Chain A
Amino acid sequence: MKNPKVLILRAAGTNCELETAGAFRAVGGAPELVHIAEIKAGKKKLMDYAVLAIPGGFSYGDDVGAGKVLANQIRHTLTDLRQFVRLGRPVIGICNGFQALVKAGILPHSNACDQTASFTFNDSGKFEARWTHLRLNTQSSCLFFKGLPEMIELPVAHGEGKLVLKSPRQLEDLKKNKSIALQYVTEDGKLMGYPHNPNGSIFNIAGLTNPEGNVLGLMPHPERFVEIHQHPNWTRQTYRKQAVGLEMFKNAVAHAR
């Protein structure tokens, strides 16, 4: 079968595109780096691709707010993104890509594409680069998580990663429609504060999905754990043997086939 085409969206300041493309290539995807200006100019069309990935970085310097300018461009340029999502094609936004998806109103899902969540500075007041323990929501239908264990580890690296919601009631909705994809936890799976929750996100949320499960936005970087030697403890004998990040890309590509 043909390798599914993956659109890796670039903008000024995107900086995780190569490793994200590498991950898709490693699992049989056909990634293509596409600058948002090429879509604006009509040279490339989102609907020609089977998967959309918005990688990490500092789009437009995160000036004004993390991912904000990119989110505006997505609203104005990727006008067929909602249709792309409705067709069930996989969309993943990592770190800055997640921030852009939230500010573009794609996550959490809302019928009118209203922005109902956002990000503020980490509670620590600092950029934080560290590995985190995460618990996947086994109730969610997120297609990226198929076959993954409930407890995984991935690195985060961000300064504005604290997820906040427009209203506290929203949290119940997110729980109800299984939109909370993954949470920061301790090694034994408990919800705890800093440094386990590296940014102070509400309910330790590290990633969101839509009720259908084909859109995933997450602050941790799965593309940085596609090989076991990227784990901080690989020189010890006690690490988990599976590079779980790679599995997420594998699931996306398998779904698209």
Chain B
Amino acid sequence: MSVRPMPVASHLIEVRLRPEFADAEGAAALQLLQAQGLTSIKEARVSRLYRIQGPITANQVQQAAKDLLCDPVTQEHRVVAPVPAPLNGMNFWRVEVWLKPTVTDPVGETVRTAIADMGLPRPDSARCAFVYRLAGRAGKPALEKAVTRCLANPLIHDAVVSEAHP
């Protein structure tokens, strides 16, 4: 193994559909969650979360986000702080579904190559997660259970359920 002189930067970029557009993916996810008994969940919106690691600066990641990951008409993007602040209220939830590190991530591979094609440094790795942003009261254990029943498969996915800002 080669020794790296610099710590590897890791960036998290979330790309969301703008609120004025209907979210068909979210509607489908909502239907699945409600079928698991979570009828108190009233809305679901789906976004993509990219984790980009390697010798690439925050500015370069911003450029990749703007020109590649995000659609200028329908989407907006933001850099995600690694640790979301804990909240109370249980009215808004965030579910991140990542492919496990051992599982191939085709989207991540495409992103990695496409970033290099833009003339930016080729990231060491790029991974893509689905983020489900849910509105509605729910208990965390029940939500976690429902997620493993319809949105994530523990065999290949790591799912992280947390409370969120609206």
Contact = CB atoms under 8 A, between A and B. Distances in A.
A and B touch in the complex (CB under 8 A): yes
Interface of A: 60-61, 63-65, 68-69, 72-73, 76, 103, 115-125, 162, 164-166, 200
28 contacts: A61-B106, A61-B107, A61-B110, A63-B106, A63-B107, A63-B111, A64-B110, A64-B114, A65-B75, A68-B68, A69-B68, A69-B110, A69-B114, A72-B114, A72-B118, A115-B72, A115-B73, A118-B73, A118-B74, A120-B21, A120-B22, A121-B23, A123-B24, A124-B24, A125-B24, A162-B24, A164-B73, A166-B73
B69 interface: yes
A125 B25 contact: yes
Contacts of A76: 117-118
A125 B32 CA distance: 12
Interface size of B as a range: 20 to 34
B69 A120 contact: no
Given A72-B118, A118-B74, 4 more contacts: A64-B110, A76-B118, A118-B71, A121-B23
A205 to B, nearest CB: 14
Contact of B110 (A63, A125, A164): A63
Interface of A is mostly: mixed
Contacts of B72: 115, 118
A116 B114 CA distance: 22
A223 B58 CA distance: 44
B74 A64 contact: no
Nearest to B119: A76
B28 interface: yes
A166 B22 CA distance: 14
B124 interface: no
A64 B73 contact: no
A123 B25 CA distance: 9
B38 interface: no
Contacts of A116: 73
A125 B27 contact: yes
A123 to B, nearest CB: 6
Contacts of A164: 21, 73-74
B68 A72 contact: yes
B71 A65 contact: yes
Contacts of B75: 65
A158 to B, nearest CB: 13
A102 to B, nearest CB: 9
B17 interface: yes
Among A61, A69, A118, A120, max chain B CB count under 10 A is at: A120
Interface string B71-94: 111110000000000000000000
Contacts of B28: 125
A103 B110 contact: no
A68 B128 CA distance: 16
Nearest to A77: B117
A145 B74 CA distance: 30
Interface in B39-91: 48, 67-69, 71-75
